[in-house]
Structure 1
Amino acid sequence: MNAVGIHRSSQWGISGGKDGSDSIVVNGGYPDDHDAGDEIIYTGQGGRAHNRHVADQELVLGNAGLKRAYEERQPIRVIRGSKGDKRFSPAAGYRYEGLFGITEMWPEVREQDGLRIWRFRLVKLGTEASAAPTSDPDEAEDDNVSWTGGHRTSLVKVRRGQRAFRTGLLEKYGLNCAVTGPAPKQVLQAAHLRAFADHGTHKRSEGLLLRSDIHSLFDAGLLAVDTADNTVVVAPSLRTHTTYGPLAGTALLVPAGLMPDRAALDDHHQAARARWALEE
């Protein structure tokens, strides 16, 4: 693949850097990857030594390139190797699979070790699942989007009303993460205290403004709020983590008069604790 110019890197799974990436190799190198044929959840590079995660992944090198491709709607060439999912991989060697578009990217904290990885959702261009990317997932709206050099996507529905929900929380709380304090607008996201997928509603009284990585922890049930004293509670698996462990017991940075719905916070806290009990 390198010799014929499909993948510029001769070793790395991501070809490119801060100026953009143009191809990736899916070859079973990361256990967090998920291959469903026309849709791939791809794990970024870095943070590993001796085939295991030892540090947080950063948005540098190939990860920065994929971020640039995502923001600028540049298609990515996908290559599958024989060590990937056997349902979609060649029996030997490598095979070029065509052009995919990056439709989502997000940081995710691994439950096994509390380390952050970057995740990229790629969908084969021209398929019904193709979705519109956005530089801010909280601001996505229904849209028809053309990929540079690719095919036109189908109409996509993305949590109608999410933009207004986030705008409302920004008006309510300002540029302030409820857990870590002041933060740029670009990294602040609107978190639902009750899963939107279950209730289908956006209630400002049931929302918190959180930094993107804190939002991921909150949604995963690894971080919650104890309304007895409005302090942050951290899952046992993260209590020794150098970044997130110290958050345990800190006060929620929300004025008393602007606190979200107590019952919703309690429901989230109880659900999180039930999950921790199963893991112990």
Structure 2
Amino acid sequence: MASGLRYGEIPAVTVGDRFADYDAMNAAGVHRASQGGISGGKDGSDSIVVNGGYVDDHDDGDEIIYTGQGGRDPNSRTRHVAHQELILGNAGLMRAYEERQPVRVIRGSKGDKRFSPASGYRYDGLYGVTEAWPEIRQQDGFRIWRFRLVKLGTTAAAAPGSDPDDAEEDNASWTGGRKTSLVKVRRGQRKFRAGLMEKYGLTCAVTGPAPKEVLHAAHLRAFAEHESHKRSEGLLLRSDIHSLFDAGLLAIDTSTNTVVVAPRLREDPTYGPLAGAGLAIPASLMPDQTALDDHHQAAKARWAIET
């Protein structure tokens, strides 16, 4: 953990407490950043300020879609001049997402008027980061990082359900500001998925653009055997395509960068037409060829036995 990070509630600070400015928040320990909206760095984030800094933010009270830091023209809320990177505070919120660290939310007077104080800043309680993803702004083509935060104690926070890889991640909860792991499975899966989204955008390698909710981070080598997350050995696949890929019913021929489908699926009206189709990702972004070839050969061996 980074020096100075303090997760969970702060003694003597209660939900609804008001602060005149950043100095007052610093003094109380509720937000340690001197001026930025995100407190923390690569080791985690313990608090954020929601104050209308980015036009892409959306505040719905118990749920917030928060835009990461960086990339914006300092003289404009709407104009970006560079991609946001997964560094500094953005890396901190990603770590909070991975580790299920609770994040204190402070709202400022410049945010959504429905939920913001009339002046100064107000502490509004603990939230959990339940989803993280990169997104390309239609206005200018620059990448931003987006974080979904849900107030702890709500049904959505107890069972997020919006992350298709959530079932493959640690079964953990936000309790008293500490991470409680119940069953450890695929630690790092969330970061792996976010890394693949950064590389490929919201695109299934086989079928093309897809909503983030249905995109899975697929391992080209079985995780149970290697227990590692390498972005060079991963693809984003739509949930149903991911199931077929893991079952060896669909593979990729690297000699042509096309889809190969198991014989028993070739007459299927949904998946049969995928046979021979080109991939939806550029050749320059292809993952490790050896891993794809090994998967293809194993699939063909299984097909030979079935026929």
TM bucket, shorter chain: 0.5 to 0.7
1:126 aligns with 2:150: no
Alignment of 1:19-58 (within 5 A): 19-49=43-73, 50-51=75-76, 52-58=79-85
Structure 2 residue 37 is the aligned partner of structure 1 residue 13: yes
CA deviation after TM superposition for structure 1 residue 229, in Å: 8.5
Q: How does 1:207-226 map to 2 (within 5 A)?
A: none
Distance 1:94 1:10 in 2: 14
Aligned to 2:127: 100
Superposed displacement of residue 132, structure 1? 6.0
Work out whether residues 221 and 233 of structure 2, in 8 Å CA contact, stay in contact via their aligned partners in 1.
Answer: no
In the other structure, the counterpart of 1:190 is 236
The one-character-per-residue Cα deviations of 1:20-40 (angstroms, maximum 9, x if unpaired) are: 211100011111111111111
Residue 170 (structure 1) shift? 5.1
Q: Deviations over 1:159-190 (max 9, x none)?
A: 9x987x935x656xxxxxxxxxxx93488343
Matching residue of 1:166: 218
2 CA distance for matches of 1:228 and 1:251?
Answer: 19
Instruction: Name the amino acid aligned to 1:34.
Output: H
Shift of 1:150: 4.4
Match of 2:91 in 1: 64
1:140 lines up with 2:186 in the alignment: no
Q: Which runs of 5+ in 1 are unaligned?
A: 154-158, 172-182, 209-226, 234-246, 259-280
Distance (whole Å) between structure 1 residues aligned to residue 177 and residue 85 of structure 2:
28
TM-score by length of 1: 0.58
What are the equivalent positions in structure 2 for 1:143-154 lying under 5 Å apart?
A: 145-150=172-177
Query: Secondary structure in 2 aligned to 1:166?
Result: strand
Q: CA deviation digits over 1:53-74, x for unaligned, max 9?
A: 1111111111111122222211
Cα shift at 1:19: 2.4
Letter in 2 for 1:75: P
Structure 1 residue 201: Cα displacement: 9.7
Structure 2 length as normaliser, TM-score? 0.53
* 1:117 and 2:165 matched: no
Letter in 2 for 1:46: G
List runs of 5+ in structure 2 lacking aligned partners: 1-24, 181-211, 223-228, 253-274, 297-307
CA deviation after TM superposition for structure 1 residue 78, in Å: 0.1
Instruction: Provide, for residues 180-234 of structure 1, a one-character-per-residue CA deviation record: whole Å limited to 9, x for no partner.
Output: xxx9348834322xxx6xx9995447899xxxxxxxxxxxxxxxxxx9983769x
Q: Which structure has the bigger radius of gyration?
A: 2
Matched residue SS, 1:66 = helix
Give the CA RMSD over aligned residues. Answer: 4.3
CA drift of 1:112 comes to 1.5
Percent of aligned pairs sharing the same letter? 60
Q: Determine if contact 1:102/1:121 at 8 Å carries over to the other structure.
A: yes
Kindly provide the amino acid, as one letter, of the partner of residue 107 in structure 1. P
Whether contact under 8 Å (1:99, 1:125) holds in the other structure is yes
Q: Which amino acid aligns with 1:103?
A: T
CA distance in 2, matches of 1:111, 1:170: 35
Q: Secondary structure at the match of 2:26?
A: coil
